[in-house]
Amino acid sequence: MSIATAPTVSPKARRRAIVAGSVGNFIEWYEFGIYGFFATIIASQFFSGGQQSGVEALIATYASFAISFFFRPVGAALFGRIGDRIGRKPTLIIVLIMMSVATALIGVLPTYASIGIAAPILLTLVRILQGLSAGGEFGGAVSVMTEFAPAGKRGIYGAWQSFTVALGLLAGAGTSALLATLLSEADLAAWGWRIAFLVALPLGAVALLLRLNLEETPAFQKVEQAKAAGAPAGADAAARADAAALADAPVIRAGAAETAKAIVVGIARLMGWSAAGYTFLVVIPSYLQSTLNASFQQALLATVFANLGFAAAILPAGWLSDRIGRRWVMLTGSLAILVLALPLLNLLQDPNSTVEVRSFAVIVAGFAVGLIAGPGPAMLAEMFPTTVRYTGLGLAYSISNAVFSGSAGLIITSLIAATGNIDVPAYYVMATCFVSAIAIATLKGDAHRKELRK
């Protein structure tokens, strides 16, 4: 028998991989959601010492938001390297603890009124810690889910990672809405917003228990078995061939040039998802409040509808991509956003639009993003071999998010302030989806039918 034969995987282990792999992602996006939803409050608490206007403080808040995203690639490289060397499970446990603690810390930080300029500095340092941990989360989580997936189901397995983005954002919106309903505006601004961040501690405890019971992935175990065996002299021909192929993989299949090229292509394929996702699902609340004078509750309601549309598309899109391929499903989503972004935004801006019409607009926007997000994780996993999968797909995703998600609020708010053009959000997502559509069109139509690269 070949020394690199993959271990038998039970249905229970596969289900555990989906839950344990996606639970950290849920916490990550819950936090990023509530940070976006409470952006105006955080701006006044941490970035306004009475010298800045509301818009200036909001821009500073989004700058801190963007900084944490730019540390994601650092986390992806650091923890990706660890995950590709010692395993997916221990690395995901480390990043989960970091993420949960950092999120809870925001809930206890003193404000500008208490400690002055040290307040935004401390907040930014905590956001950097979150960025590092979040950067190590995606690559490991997607590696776990796709490497545990049975043949022909990587799309639907990977889609659960994206689905928990929607669940995390919805949980953040729900928590924010509940606090806004139960508390007065004064209490919410003074201390109520902190509760949303402190919720990360019990969430993290549950997630940690799930990950402690997670098994190592079959693909990683297969690589480790081949390395340990080292093609012994007495091994049969098949065993020697397997070991030789795996030994050569880091040089031939996972060479630096090839990996770097795959990362660049991956970024191009993801940039529309990153930009549109954060614009429609997170930035819109502050945009509606600061630009269209909507109330906090109205902005949250719009976000909930957008995320419901997003969530509704993800799992069906992942399932469909297992049948017809990743390319056509993701291309449909990118082109839909390219065509519909401006008309949908104009519906939100129109003072004569009814609540039903505005709800429809944000649901459609979210649904289009979901068509890209559903197959996206599996598409990335299929671009890299096992020996660099954690690192490669983590870097592609984190760099795309750093540039096009983390900077979305900063870019949009700054451009609106500079130009007075309230259509900026639509132009931003249209430009990024145009580039993504071209890159997605280069996907091979049969990649979803092949085994993951060794």
pLDDT tens across 173-203, in order?
889 889 988 999 889 988 999 999 999 999 9
Determine contact, residues 358/450, Cβ cutoff 8 Å: no
Residue 231 has pLDDT above 50, yes or no: no
Tell me, what's the pLDDT at 248? 44
Tell me, what's the pLDDT at 40? 78
Tell me, what's the pLDDT at 54? 57
Tell me, what's the pLDDT at 65? 67
Rounded-to-integer distance, Cα 104 and Cα 99, Å:
9
Residue 156 has pLDDT above 60, yes or no: yes
Residue 50 has pLDDT above 60, yes or no: no
Residue 35 has pLDDT above 90, yes or no: no
| Mean pLDDT in residue range 144-169 | 91
Residue for token digits 């007075």?
Answer: 420
Residue for token digits 């061939």?
Answer: 241
Tell me, what's the pLDDT at 243? 47
Q: pTM, whole model, 2 decimals? A: 0.83
| Mean pLDDT in residue range 80-92 | 93
Tell me, what's the pLDDT at 4? 46
Residue ranges of domains in the chain: 11-447
Distances in Å between the Cα of 99 and the Cα atoms of 25, 29, 133, 158, 419 are 10, 11, 6, 21, 37
Angle of the 218-229 helix axis to the 118-148 helix axis, nearest 10 = 80
Residue 144 has pLDDT above 50, yes or no: yes
Share of the chain above pLDDT 70, in %: 87
Tell me, what's the pLDDT at 350? 83
- Tokens (6 digits) for 174: 């729900």
Angle of the 326-349 helix axis to the 296-324 helix axis, nearest 10 = 160
Tell me, what's the pLDDT at 19? 92
The mean predicted confidence, pLDDT, of the chain is 85
Tell me, what's the pLDDT at 359? 83
Query: Quick one: pLDDT band at residue 116, thresholds 50, 70, 90?
Result: confident
| Mean pLDDT in residue range 114-121 | 88
Tell me, what's the pLDDT at 57? 67
Tell me, what's the pLDDT at 285? 63
Rounded-to-integer distance, Cα 158 and Cα 15, Å:
12
| Mean pLDDT in residue range 78-102 | 93
Tell me, what's the pLDDT at 399? 94
Among the ranges 53-57, 235-239, 357-361, 436-440, which has the highest mean pLDDT value?
A: 436-440
Task: Pick 429 or 53 by higher pLDDT.
Answer: 429
CATH of domain 11-447: 1.20.1250.20
| Mean pLDDT in residue range 412-429 | 87
Per DSSP, 52 falls in state S
